Structure 1
């Protein structure tokens, strides 16, 4: 199995078009929810998150030492990274099939990238071994948090 990240990118023009068409945010949440449910039922969704607007973020530019931090919004940005899905699928072709189903509109692009796996690196490297252990610990922490959130909601 391979992991692919579907990266949602939007343009200011797409944002303006959405506002102009007065698309109800609840409709967007519903269509994304249906898509996410389809991914979950298929057993391919590992993660997926939306992001807040650029005004809540910042950019770190490493062209200088020390790096320069600039708070958002980013006036020079032509596209904004708005969210992502992380899928575990059998092939690049399956990733393409899922990517085509994402309920996005005009002016929005979906960049799809294969996620590196620990098997892509030398297994005798001590940092790779540590990374594998960190991932196991993180998975357990996330599982505990998810169970606590589910208990809270029920």
Structure 2
């Protein structure tokens, strides 16, 4: 079954990896952040090799978004972000896991300083 790992964050300035741009992340010594980055890269390599990692993207700043809403009888577009929030969608990864437990195990590794991780399964039809 496929799952999406959604990474919500609020880096200042906006950038990736988010750990380098969040207040809590910058408080971590550089050598520790580098070690965490290497662990994350190893995780992505492992997930790629196992076929569990389908894809992923780091997203640009919320201000670069274009929002589309239905008004009257047509879509109307405005500049983003969608809503006032403390955290925004910073990126995502798509996983294909045999069980929800495996997806949850993997998703826990995506949680980093200053980020909130959401794991959501695909809808089954």
TM-score by length of structure 2 reads 0.71
**Max Rg structure:** 1
Q: After the TM superposition, which residues 40-119 of structure 1 pair with which residues of structure 2 at under 5 Å, given as runs?
A: 40-62=48-70, 64-65=71-72, 66-73=74-81, 76-102=84-110, 104-105=112-113, 107-117=114-124
The answer for the alignment partner of 1:34 in structure 2 is 42
Q: Matched residue pairs, number?
A: 114
**TM-score, normalized by length of structure 1?**
0.59
- 1:54, CA displacement in angstroms? 1.4
More helix by share: 1
* Per-residue deviation, 1:88: 0.6
Structure 1 residues 29 and 59, CA, compared in 2 at 3 Å: closer, same or farther? farther
CA drift of 1:99 comes to 0.6
TM-superposed deviation, 1:61: 2.4
Structure with more strand by fraction: 2
Q: Distance in 2 between matches of 1:98 and 1:22?
A: 23
Unmatched segments (≥5 aa) in structure 1: 121-154
Partner residue of 2:23 out of 10, 13, 17:
17
1:50–1:82 CA contact under 8 A, matched in 2 = yes
Unaligned runs of 5+ residues in structure 2 are: 13-17
CA RMSD of aligned residues (A): 3.0
Instruction: Say if 2:7 and 2:90, in contact at 8 Å, map to a contact too.
Output: yes
